[in-house]
Each structure stands twice: as C-alpha cells, then as structure tokens.
Amino acid sequence: MSEKLTLIVTEDGSHSLYHESLKETYHSFHGAFKESIHVFMLYGLDAWLMRNPQKKPIRIFEVGFGTGLNAWLTLVWAEQNQIPVLYHTIEPFPLDEEIYSQLNYGDIDDGIFHYKPYLQRLHKANWNEGVVISEYFNMKKEQTTLEEVRLYPSDVVFFDAFAPSKQPELWTKDLLEKVSQQLNHGGALTTYCATGELKRNLRELGLTVETLPGPPGKKEMTRAWKP
C-alpha cells in the first residue's frame, strides 16, 4: 500500500486524510470527529462502562492508529471520567509529523481544548513500548499489522480498519476470530462497518451482534458483545 495522503476537511469541520491509492478516507466524510465520538466513545466506551461499572482499568485494542483521533478522544474520556485506560494500538504506516502536526482535532470542541497538546504526544510517543501519556491513559503503540500483532486480552476493541471493500484482508473470519478470542467476557467490539458478512462472521464466532444507528450520513453500525 503506498502512502500518498492528502489532508481533507470533513463536514463537521474536523480533518481526515484521503488515501490516494486506496481512494479511501480515514473517516466518514460526513464528520470525522462526530463519527469517532458516536461509534467508539458513545457506543463503545460509554456502553461498556454501563455494563461494567466496577472494572478498572479498561483495556482497549484499536486496529489502525492512523490520525490518533480515537486514541486522543479516549484519553479525554479517561481523564474526564477518571478511569484508567490501557490502550494498545497498531499502525503499519505511521504518519509524518508534517501531516499529524496539522490535524485540528484539538480545535473542534471548546470543552476539550485543554487536551489539545496530547494529540502530538500520542504521535511522538515511542513505538513498541508502553508509555504513560497522562494520569489515566497509558498506551502501547506498535508499528505492525493486524495479521502479525500479538494481542493482549481486551475489554473493548475499536475495529477501525479501512472498509472491507478497500482492504478485505483485514475483515476475514480468521482475523476476527484472532481478535474475538482475546476479547474478555463482557467485552465489546465496535465498528462503523455494518455489512451482512461481518455480522454473520461475528455471530458464528459466538458474539452477540447488535445493529445500531450509524454516525451522521450512515444508516447503521455494528457492536458485538462477548457473552
């Protein structure tokens, strides 16, 4: 996969990236910020917390660190809720500083402006080792692929790979099984994707699958719980 990337502005004013050779954006064109809040914070972390109010820390695994938007919003969530998070994320194609230093996520919502500097800290953090980023947020960012990574047990999985139509090799039943095997009982996998094949595969792997309303511009998304 080549890495020719262009910075774009999505409909809620937040940045995303356009991957020229895949002809695919890193987030929904209808709003990167809104999509991440909806799919991963509200239907991921908040939903998990409602079911597991006592369990700390939360262990999160993310497929595709990319712009760092999900990681950064999770850091904000962890600090605001005072819940310790251990965040494991993978990315085979880290962004250049020239790109990540332009990302405007810290300017979208005045209420969390205070956390703006942490986005750069996430990007600058050393790869392949555990790093304390803030009081409630520890991260291990690995430069590797989903195919290669050795997973830890997790409570919440942010499955944020490029769409199955663009990168089908990341949505195979084998890779979903690899991830779901490491999902703790009571844990959830959340993704913007809502294809029938994904839901069928997750069901066949023994997960309880929900189809939920999608973020702006998207009818549906998927969340799957490990019983």
Ligand X SMILES: C[S@@+](CC[C@H](N)C(=O)[O-])C[C@H]1O[C@@H](n2cnc3c(N)ncnc32)[C@H](O)[C@@H]1O
* Interface contacts to ligand X, rule CB under 6 A: 26, 63-67, 69-70, 90-93, 145-147, 160-162, 170
Angstrom distance (rounded) from CA 203 to CA 169: 19
Would you say 67 or 138 has its CB closer to ligand X? Answer: 67
**Residue 167: CB partners within 8 Å, gap ≥ 6?**
22, 161
Nearest distance, CB of residue 57 and ligand X, angstroms: 21
Q: Which residue is nearest to ligand X (CB)?
A: 66
Would you say 110 or 148 has its CB closer to ligand X? Answer: 148
Q: In whole angstroms, how large is the CA radius of gyration of the chain? A: 16
Would you say 147 or 197 has its CB closer to ligand X? Answer: 147
DSSP helix/strand/coil, 116: coil
As given in the structure block, the two tokens for residue 122 are 């996430």
Angstrom distance (rounded) from CA 86 to CA 143: 17
Nearest distance, CB of residue 3 and ligand X, angstroms: 8
Nearest distance, CB of residue 74 and ligand X, angstroms: 11
Residue 121 phi, psi (nearest 5): -65, -35
Nearest distance, CB of residue 223 and ligand X, angstroms: 16
Asked if omega into 57 is within 30° of 0 (cis), the reply is: yes
Nearest distance, CB of residue 98 and ligand X, angstroms: 16
Would you say 29 or 93 has its CB closer to ligand X? Answer: 93
As given in the structure block, the two tokens for residue 128 are 């392949």
Would you say 21 or 211 has its CB closer to ligand X? Answer: 21
